[in-house]
Amino acid sequence: MRGTALATAGLILSLSLITVSGTTSHAAMHEHGYTYRYDYWEDVQDSPDVFAVTASYTSADLALDLKMKNPQGLYAHGDNLYICDTGNNRIIELVRDETKQLSVTRIISSFRGGNGVNTFVEPTDIAISDAGNVFIADQGNARVLKLTADLDYIMEYGKPDDSALDQGIVFQPYKIAVDTAERVYCVARGINKGLCKYEADGSFSGFVGALPATYNLWDYLWKKVASQEQLARMNSFVPTEYDNLYMDYEGFIYAVTGNVKEEDLENGQVTAVRKLNLIGNDILVRNGDYDNYGDLYMGDGGGHQGPSLFSDVTVFDNDTYVCLDRNRGRAFGYDDQGRLMFAFGGNGNEDGYFNWAIGIDHIGTDLFILDQQTATLTAFSLTEFGQLVFRAIEEFDHGDYSASGATWEEVMRLNGNYDLAYIGIGRSLLRQERYREAMDYFEIKYDDENYSKAFKQYRKEWVEEHIVWIVVVILALFLIPLGIGRYRKIRHDIATADIFLIDQ
């Protein structure tokens, strides 16, 4: 749809235009601030910060005896925050007090009971069920442990018992999520058939939500003619693996993958983030102007190139979700409609910048991001702008449309370039049945779907109001030519009538 105006020009024209004008420089990648988003034209629009750093915690700040080494997992449960200190084979439990300060409450490095080793080797994730049981992805020991809240052994989950799986591979559970019925979903390294799903009784019940295999036509044709040696060197068409998952408050699983290629993302063959329902279908809403894969500009810079590589995701209770890009150290927030709300961050050592962002989670509306390389936990809170955006979304969700519209107006006052504010006002006007006004807001930001919803109603109202005139005009269009014809015929009949010819 976009650019159809110029698309008709065709090959000849485009060739000639290059000659005439030289290569037209497309909206060049320009420097942008800490927080930004992409507009309809995929241009960067700077934005006020949505999240601001409130604190950052290193091992020293947390008064740890042993420095964190290579931490790979971050999990929030209630007011507790868990860091998987993978390199030190332990898990650190933190608690957040009323002043939003984090402090260590216990260090989990072993458990009681079990048959065999009761310590961890490179634990990479932890999850806690509603019942309070603790699940740990004990990667080095090839098991997922289920422990009580007091760390007594209950059971463990091993390699999926599935004939389709190569029995030679070592089970490496990497990330886990637990639902209310204590079913365990596990992302395991080297398994690309989807998430391993275990029932509450510990039995493996299958794979869910596999990512489709991607290949392009050229690769496909090339494989048809390639020799055995060439085939051996080429990548095979296999589904990609997930990198992380998050169980949202409704029990849907958000899963991200960082095994993505630029061209697959751009032609929609791969989805970097998915929302899986119980049977593993992707039900993520994608109403944005572009797909949800982080940065749209993938230029080289600062030693980083290619697309955003998502390493983690977290979902707020208003269905907005934040994906973490380990490539450029950025966080991308999307709303429930799949529209980009904000992107912030970058590579570096200052507060709010990351070297290797590996984990993201939230308590309330506070965001925590874990950096694997610097072993630092950074805490973020909503700014005034961010609070307004969140409030507007929540008010809309609760059906308080006029309040939502008013809040979006305030958002717009703080950032006149914020597309979502215009669309938000439009949506609230639409719900208030003020269609004509809503249409204007949608048109400004090129939201054709919502515009059409408003326009359809407006058109209906207009026709109902003017139905008399419409009927009159249509009748007139038929009757006037008919009348003129009739009149002419009568005139003609009179002119040629016999009685008038007698005198001549």
Partner 1 sequence: MEQALTWKDKAWWAKYWDSLKFAFYCMTHPLDGFWDLTHEKRGTMAAANTILIVTLIVRIMKLRFTSFIFITVYWEELNIFLYLASVLFPLALWVVGNWALTTLFDGKGRLGQVYMATCYGLLPYPVVQLPLMLLSNGVTVDEREFYTVISALSLIYAGILIIAAMGQIHEFSGAKNLLFTIASLFAMLVMVFLLLLFFSMITEGVSYIVSLVREMLFRM
Residues that bind partner 1 (CB under 8 A): 1-6, 8-10, 12-13, 15-17, 19-21, 24, 26-27, 40-41, 443, 446, 448-449, 451-453, 455-456, 459
**Minimum CB–partner distance for residue 465 and partner 1 (Å):** 15
Cα 400 from Cα 391, distance rounded (Å)? 11
Q: Which is nearer to partner 1, 8 or 235 (CB)?
A: 8
Cα 423 from Cα 451, distance rounded (Å)? 10
**Minimum CB–partner distance for residue 284 and partner 1 (Å):** 21
Cα 25 from Cα 71, distance rounded (Å)? 43
Q: Which is nearer to partner 1, 5 or 63 (CB)?
A: 5
**Minimum CB–partner distance for residue 6 and partner 1 (Å):** 8
Cα 74 from Cα 84, distance rounded (Å)? 6
Contacts of 237 (CB under 8 A, 6+ apart): 213, 214, 215, 219
Cα 155 from Cα 145, distance rounded (Å)? 6
Is the Cβ–Cβ distance between 136 and 144 less than 8 Å? Answer: yes
Q: Which is nearer to partner 1, 409 or 440 (CB)?
A: 440
Q: Which is nearer to partner 1, 40 or 401 (CB)?
A: 40
Q: Which is nearer to partner 1, 10 or 303 (CB)?
A: 10
Cα 14 from Cα 3, distance rounded (Å)? 14
Cα 166 from Cα 163, distance rounded (Å)? 8
**Minimum CB–partner distance for residue 53 and partner 1 (Å):** 35
Pairing of strands 134-138, 143-147: antiparallel
B/e letters for 312-333, b = 16+ CB within 10 Å, e = fewer, are bbbbbebbbbbbbbbbbbbbbb
**Minimum CB–partner distance for residue 42 and partner 1 (Å):** 10
* Number of Cβ within a 10 Å radius of residue 222: 13
**Minimum CB–partner distance for residue 193 and partner 1 (Å):** 38
- Quick one: tokens of 138? 């004990």
**Minimum CB–partner distance for residue 446 and partner 1 (Å):** 6
Q: Which is nearer to partner 1, 123 or 288 (CB)?
A: 288
Q: Which is nearer to partner 1, 5 or 502 (CB)?
A: 5
**Minimum CB–partner distance for residue 285 and partner 1 (Å):** 17
Q: Which is nearer to partner 1, 162 or 443 (CB)?
A: 443
Cα 492 from Cα 393, distance rounded (Å)? 73
Contacts of 72 (CB under 8 A, 6+ apart): 84, 86, 124, 125, 358, 359, 372
**Minimum CB–partner distance for residue 37 and partner 1 (Å):** 18
Cα 452 from Cα 476, distance rounded (Å)? 31
Query: Measured over all CA atoms, what is the biggest interatomic distance in the chain, rounded to whole angstroms?
Result: 132
Q: Which is nearer to partner 1, 75 or 442 (CB)?
A: 442
**Which residues, listed in sequence order, are joined to residue 125 by a DSSP beta bridge?**
137
Contacts of 419 (CB under 8 A, 6+ apart): 37, 39, 40, 45, 339, 445
Q: Which is nearer to partner 1, 3 or 116 (CB)?
A: 3
**Minimum CB–partner distance for residue 25 and partner 1 (Å):** 9
